[in-house]
Amino acid sequence: MQTKDIKSISIKDYLRNHGINPSKEYSGYGMYKSPFRDEHHPSFKVDYKANLWYDFGSGEGGSIIDLVMKMQDCTLSQAMHILEEKADFPPIVKTAFSSPSESVGRMKLIRVEQFLSPHLESYLRERGISRELSAEYLTAVYYRVNDREYSALGFRNDEGGFELRNSQFQGCYPPKAITTLDRNTTVCNLFEGFMDFLSYLTLYPMKEKSLPSGSTVVLNGTGNLKRAIPFLSKHTEIYAYLDNDKSGKEAVQKLQNLKLPVTDCFNMYADHNDLNDFLKQMIRQKPAQIIPKNRRMKR
């Protein structure tokens, strides 16, 4: 078989034949729990029409060949041989893109605004983040895919790209990079995504002037961990608030192996996947309560 024919083998069908099915499905794509680690919430996306996958936890992605190489821990030629044997899988049908998640390559930035539309305001409320807080860090990013316009919350990274989120889509307007907030302190807080960063600020409002604010790194995916190491190395205390899953644990372990002074703060939200899940439960149980002082971590 030719390479292009092998790449047309459906990723969805390949995963299904390995007992892996989507946790959620949307128009043109599905969200899966990653086949590469244990996790509570799906972070592995399969674009059915483009027949591509992307792992938000590791920042990796590609064609079905790349997927088989990673799943089977094999070489390119071995992966192609495996897929040739599975050639009875039906090929995907290539049709026009119908959602903003179909192809970053076809995404065109239109404008960036401070004002958030009602559906983005609603999404923030669902995640437990106040508009007052988000106004400092988020914008509304408008972009076009195949002549259709979309909008998402945008969180700018250090290279001028945006992490994008709305109720039905999570992605990135390139370039992909980390986001750092350097406050020239010895303390640094480390987060996997911007929703966790904003959740932290919601849980620990900066109203006590006696508490110095620390610097911040938002990885925008644990696949960016290596890029954050030079910035993290400048600090004598690092507090990690990464997802409570295998990917988060491995990231913390890598930092500890490098002898960086990192403290894993997962105990604070041990029964939840991440800080935002913890925040949402706090709001449901006791909407007006602020985290007690004796449970606060350093910031």
Closest CA to 180 of 233, 142, 218: 218
pLDDT band at 190 (very low <50, low <70, confident <90, very high): very high
Establish whether the linkage from the previous residue to 35 is cis, with ω within 30° of 0.
no
**Using CA atoms, how far apart are residues 136 and 151, in angstroms rounded to an integer?**
18
**Using CA atoms, how far apart are residues 189 and 100, in angstroms rounded to an integer?**
32
Q: Is 249's pLDDT higher than 70?
A: yes
Average pLDDT over residues 28-57: 90
SS3 content of the chain, % helix, strand, coil (to 5): 35, 25, 40
Average pLDDT over residues 181-197: 93
For residue 293, the model assigns a pLDDT of 41
Tokens of 185: 């302190």
pLDDT tens string 81-131: 778 765 544 443 332 233 333 334 467 889 999 999 888 999 999 999 988
Enter the DSSP assignment of 130: -
- Please tell me the least confidently modeled range out of 78-82, 172-176, 233-237: 78-82
**Cβ proximity of 205 and 229 under 8 Å:** no
Q: Which domains does the chain have, with CATH numbers?
A: 3-85 (3.90.580.10), 104-173 (no CATH), 179-295 (3.40.1360.10)
Q: Is 188's pLDDT higher than 60?
A: yes
**Cβ proximity of 119 and 140 under 8 Å:** no
Q: Is 295's pLDDT higher than 70?
A: no
Q: What is the dihedral of CA 280, 283, 284, 285, to 10 degrees?
A: 120
Long-range contacts formed by 28-37: CB under 8 A, 24+ apart:
28/97, 28/98, 28/99, 28/101, 28/102, 29/99, 29/101, 29/102, 34/58, 34/247, 35/71, 36/70, 36/71, 37/245, 37/246, 37/247, 37/250
**Cβ proximity of 281 and 272 under 8 Å:** yes
- Please tell me the least confidently modeled range out of 33-47, 227-241, 256-270: 33-47
**Cβ proximity of 27 and 231 under 8 Å:** no
pLDDT tens string 140-159: 999 887 778 889 999 999 99
Closest CA to 189 of 175, 176, 204: 204
Does this model's pTM top 0.75? no
For residue 196, the model assigns a pLDDT of 94
Average pLDDT over residues 31-39: 87
Tell me what percent of the residues of the chain surpass a pLDDT of 70.
Answer: 84
What DSSP string describes 160-181?
S-EEEEETTEEEEESSP--EEE
